[in-house]
Amino acid sequence: MAQAAPQTGALEPPSTATPFQFPGYYSFPPFFTAQPNLVTRAAQHQKWSLLIQAYCRHNRIFVLSLIDALNSPLFHNAALNRRLSLNDAREVLNWMASEPGGNRAEWIGGTGKAKTGAEKVWVYWRRPEEWASVLEGWVDGTGQKGSVLTLWELVEGEATASQEFHGMDMDLLQKSLQVLVKRGKAQIFGQEDSLGVKFF
Amino acid sequence: MGQASSKKITAQDDAILSMKIQRDKLQQYQKKIKHVTARETEVAKECLRRGDKKKALVALRRKKYQESLLAKTDAQLEQLEILVNDVEFARVQKDVMYGLQQGTSVLKQIHREMGGVEGVEKLLADNEEARLYQKEVNDLLAGRMSNQDEDEVEDELEALEREMNPIKDEPISHPELPDAPAQEPERRESQKERWERRAREQREQREPQEPLLA
């Protein structure tokens, strides 16, 4: 199952030019129904997690809106006329957000442990600490240690157009930079809507 | 790791940031204008399709105006970028200057510790004096040793050497006799030759030092 390993392509920046190649199990009808057997269910969660990560990586989605996603090809296989129900999708994302799911997702908002009512979710095809390493590597590789960069130019500037973090969600960028700040590798400063960062 | 002191945001950083933010804003503004001009073109096309030439003309005029704004912002952007680059370069220069300053002061301090040129000259003179003195002592000691004493020393050395390499003397017990030596065996020096050799050696020993003293 070569397509079930999206992590291997981590080094190439994702392209939106080509349509996303769905894995083989996407055409398997039972995949869209929560499996009663616990072992099968765990495997199903794993596969969904990989699919969601690969899909978001390909389309550079950082925040998934649950309601919109239900009607997108991700959760809705039009060819099979099958879709994942809201509850099942929620369960998959809950699993991704959990420890066994590798903390590959995080709900935005919502109340309680089940995060009921949350409609948007971070999909961490790279976790903030992984993004931090990518950012640090880029700053290192381009010799920009000690210089001041605006957050906007990090994700929208021409210099980063070929980078994976180009077009990244601003909040996620800040989360990732906070990791570097904690490590003493960066400092964020400036006004609320015009933030800059200095790397060390 | 307690390096916070060297990692502070300075007023310069703030100034650079505000310049860069300004640059970002210009770039965002340009994006917006490009979007607007594209839309005006669409509007003009739409008006022409409906046969409303007047409205199409207005739309194109608006587009033209936006394009002139774009050109202006381009110039401003360029200026801003030059300024940012200049500031960053000046910072690098400052760092280089600081480095040079540090190096120079260290070099000066080391020189001071060495005591200047006079100190070095004095040290060299002292050094030569000491060596001359040592040579004198050597000569005195060598002169006191009589030739007979030296004979005894050398004999002892020979005896020791024989003792340490006894195998050479053993081939007598060997069943096959060795060939007769092809060369004439080394003759033992006569006493006179020995004295002459020693005098020569001592001279040679002393001579190589001479050029150093000069």
Same domain, A63 and A115: yes
Same domain, A147 and A116: no
pLDDT at B117: 83
* Contact state of A150 with B24 under an 8 Å Cβ cutoff: yes
Same domain, A27 and A119: yes
| CATH label of the domain that carries residue B106 | 1.10.287.1060
Q: Residue A89 phi/psi, 5° resolution?
A: -60, -45
Give the helix/strand (H/E) hosting A94: helix A86-97
Q: How far apart are CA A171 and CA B196, in angstroms?
A: 98
* Contact state of A190 with B14 under an 8 Å Cβ cutoff: yes
Q: How far apart are CA A134 and CA A14, in angstroms?
A: 14
Give the helix/strand (H/E) hosting A199: strand A194-199
Helix (H, G, I), strand (E, B), or coil: what is residue A149? strand
| CATH label of the domain that carries residue A187 | 1.10.10.10
The model's pLDDT over B139-189, given as tens digits with 9 standing for 90+, comes to 887 776 677 888 888 899 999 988 888 765 555 555 666 677 777 766 666
A167 pLDDT exceeds 80? yes
Neighbours of B161 (CB within 10 A): 10
A71 pLDDT exceeds 70? yes
- Least CB-CB distance to B17: which of A157, A184, A189? A189
pLDDT at B178: 67
The number of folded domains in chain A is 2
pLDDT at A179: 93
Helix (H, G, I), strand (E, B), or coil: what is residue B51? coil
- Tell me the mean pLDDT in the region A9-25: 66
Q: How far apart are CA B47 and CA A140, in angstroms?
A: 53
Residue B99's domain spans which residues? 11-114
For B19, name the nearest residue in chain A, comparing CA atoms only.
A150
Q: In which residue are the tokens 């040579």 written?
A: B135
Q: What is the ipTM of this complex?
A: 0.72
Q: A122 with A106: CB under 8 angstroms?
A: yes
The model's pLDDT over B111-134, given as tens digits with 9 standing for 90+, comes to 888 877 888 888 899 999 999 999
- pTM here is 0.63
Same domain, B33 and B81: yes
Write out the two tokens for B131.
Answer: 């060596």
Question: For B195, how many CA atoms within 13 A lie in the half-sphere containing its CB?
Answer: 8
Same domain, A102 and A161: no
Q: B15 with B87: CB under 8 angstroms?
A: yes
Whether the CB of A193 is below 8 Å from some CB of chain B: the reply is no
Same domain, B139 and B87: no
A121 pLDDT exceeds 80? yes
Question: For B130, how many CA atoms within 13 A lie in the half-sphere containing its CB?
Answer: 6
Beta bridge partner(s), residue A116: A111
The model's pLDDT over B26-61, given as tens digits with 9 standing for 90+, comes to 989 999 999 999 999 999 999 999 988 888 999 999
- Beta carbons within 8 Å of A174's beta carbon, 6+ residues apart: A151, A188, A195
Q: Which of B82, B114, B146 is the last residue of a domain?
A: B114
Q: Which of A60, A92, A123 is the last residue of a domain?
A: A123
A98 pLDDT exceeds 80? yes
Most confident of A144-153, A163-172, B84-93, B98-107: B98-107
Q: How far apart are CA A2 and CA B115, in angstroms?
A: 75
Q: Which of A94, A123, A152 is the last residue of a domain?
A: A123
pLDDT at B175: 62
Quote the mean pLDDT of chain A. Answer: 84
A6 pLDDT exceeds 50? no
pLDDT at A30: 87
Q: A14 with A60: CB under 8 angstroms?
A: yes
A131 pLDDT exceeds 90? yes
Quote the mean pLDDT of chain B. Answer: 83
Q: Best mutation site among A142, A149, A150, A189 for testing chain B: the one with the most B CBs within 10 Å?
A: A150
Same domain, A100 and A132: no
Residue A84's domain spans which residues? 2-123
